Amino acid sequence: MSSWVLWASEVEWLAGIWAPTLRHHNDTFWLVTTLVDDDREAADASRWDNIIFKARDPFDLGSWTDAVHFEFEGYDTEPFWDDDGKTYINGAHAWKIGPWIQQAEADLDTGEVGEWRIIWNGTGGMVPEGPHIYRKDGYYYLLAAEGGTGLGHMVTMARSERIGGPYQSNPWNPVLTNANTTNYFQTVGHADLFQDASGNWWCAALATRSGPEWLNFPMGRETVLTSATWSEGEWPYLTPIEGKMSGWKMQSEDLDIDGSGYLISLGEGQGDAFDFALNSTLPNHLTYWRYPVEDSYTVSPPEKPNSLRLAPSKLNLTAYNGNYAGPEGQTFIGRRQQDTLFTYSVELDFQPTEEEEEAGVTAFLTQNHHFDLGVALLPARLSTQAFPGQNLSAGGNSSDLKLQFRFRGISYAPVPTEIVIPVPEDWVGKPLRLEIKAANVTHYSFAAGPAGAASQIETILYASNDAVSWGFTGVFLGVYSTSNGGTGTTPAYIANWRYSPQGQFRD
């Protein structure tokens, strides 16, 4: 490590890997992406660390090479191999400095790049980015995104007889957008084109289920697929994005893929049912927030088989200020919300011994945007309400520590007031069931009760999902464990992890 250079001691939550592009060429998979330090100014060249990886077998982690770095003051980079054997990288320049698409000849094995030149400024929309070039019928077709990633998002195209331009805009631009429509799917843009095994053209793009109000979209930007028609020598026609579309015949869903990843496209109704059996591993589609401390997650520990043991982190999900977290990590693991309607629940066995030790479930977007329903050891005087049939005044102003349910939220949007409810005495010392449900398009419900007693589950509150509808990505549903800055080390045990899809809104 003597030759390594410290790039950043802390990473702001919006920083990290941006916009990877994966291409296959000469039996090799090439992945080009940008590691962004969002704390640095756009004009600071060190903000952008552009990198290349390659592998013969993308499913074999050991097949991937170490990163090869190349110089470019921007992002959304992609490789392109021309007919004459030359290789290029296309990318979006830092738009706050210069809103244009640039290109340079490159050696992908060494990271050496030639002079960067501007090849297109777009059609006048904000932030031209996401370039992809295709060689077809004697032209170089340049596809790009414009308008930012909000309601003005769109896909535009230009073409040239030479790789370096000049590029002439498609007179029918934008080729794909839902801007200024009432469609449920909005923010359509950042597209890519490809052909299937039958030679049919398809377009993959980003979109958001929000309607033009753009208020409730907890799944964030999703990948959508639409058919395309691309006649010889002509501009392509991309079928507009709607909730239900017709297109080319889809290939069989009986896919034989030599990989261990989680297939998310095998039809609706696929959910999670994890019991954390002995000798099992965590499913690949479960995700940490930041780099995990591996010892904080133990599947089927000897003292409690068929559970996931969580060691608490000192930091909670907000951490220092909603932006940063140190190397000690945040104990959290979750899965993406994939359905408009769902029920997510776990069993929690947690017996805290120190004040503010806490474990629970969360609808988590970022450190600045999340709802948490936890079980915590708190002073009795903090109780704000009680379940029906329970006596809130029993705790009075006591500083005695009691096991309590606590709901908290943080967001740039308004969130419900903190709720603290004593755990009923006949539930204490037993596993509890915590539940998050999306019963409609706009709200989550949060509920709790004793494990194995569905009739005793009590709804604690409903919270609008507009507080976690923000930015580029979507909500994680998961579990966490924290000492909230204290010294507590009591583990939490998670069992019977369930995610049940219950409906998808398209229109």
Same domain? For 75 and 219 the reply is yes
Boundary-marking domain end, from 238, 263, 286:
238
Q: Are 50 and 69 in contact (CB under 8 A)?
A: yes
Instruction: Please tell me the distance from the alpha carbon of residue 289 to that of residue 325, in angstroms, as a whole number.
Output: 10
**Position 11, amino acid:** V
Tell me the C-alpha distance between 390 and 412, whole Å: 34
Angle at 263 between CA 262 and CA 267, to 5 degrees: 140
The single-letter DSSP state of residue 102 is E
In a domain, 73, yes or no: yes
| Cα–Cα separations (whole angstroms), residue 114 to 22, 25, 106, 328 | 22, 21, 6, 41
> What's the confidence (pLDDT) of residue 263?
62
| Listed residue (138, 139, 144, 176) closest to 157, CA to CA | 144
In a domain, 248, yes or no: no
Domain identity same for 219 and 313: no
For 139-176, the DSSP string reads EEEEEEEES-SSTT-EEEEEEESSTT-PPEEPTT--SE
**Is the dihedral angle over the CA atoms 372, 377, 381, 383 positive or is it negative?**
positive
Query: What pLDDT score does 26 carry?
Result: 96
Are 227 and 361 found together in one domain? no
Q: Are residues 74 and 193 in the same domain?
A: yes
pLDDT score at 8: 55
Could you tell me if residue 356 is inside a domain?
yes
Mean pLDDT by 10 residues, the chain (507 residues): 49 81 98 93 92 95 95 97 98 91 98 98 96 98 97 98 98 98 98 95 98 97 97 98 89 66 59 96 93 95 98 95 79 97 98 98 97 98 93 74 98 97 97 97 98 96 98 96 98 98 93
The answer to whether residues 212 and 202 touch, using CB atoms and an 8 Å cutoff, is no
CATH number at residue 184: 2.115.10.20
pLDDT value of residue 439: 87
220 plus 313 within the same structural domain:
no
Residue 260 counted as domain residue:
no
Residue that terminates a domain, selected from 217, 238, 259: 238
8 Å CB contact between 348 and 376? no
338 and 443 belong to one structural domain: yes
Structural domain boundaries, residue 470: 272-503
Do residues 321 and 223 both lie within one domain? no
9, part of any domain? no
Claim to verify: residue 171 and residue 304 sit in the same structural domain = no
**Count of structural domains within the chain:** 2
214 lies in the same domain as 345? no
Residues 310, 491 contacting (CB under 8 angstroms): yes
Same-domain check for residues 194 and 297: no
Does residue 169 fall inside a structural domain? yes
Alpha-carbon distance of 175 to 239, in angstroms, equals 9
CATH of the domain at 398: 2.60.120.200
**Is residue 250 included in any domain, yes or no?**
no
Distance CA 154, CA 206 (A): 10
**pLDDT (0 to 100) of residue 96:** 87
Cα separation, 480 vs 492, in Å, equals 9
- State which of 238, 254, 287 marks the end of a domain: 238
Domain-embedded: residue 291:
yes
pLDDT the model gives residue 71: 97
Stated pTM of the model: 0.93
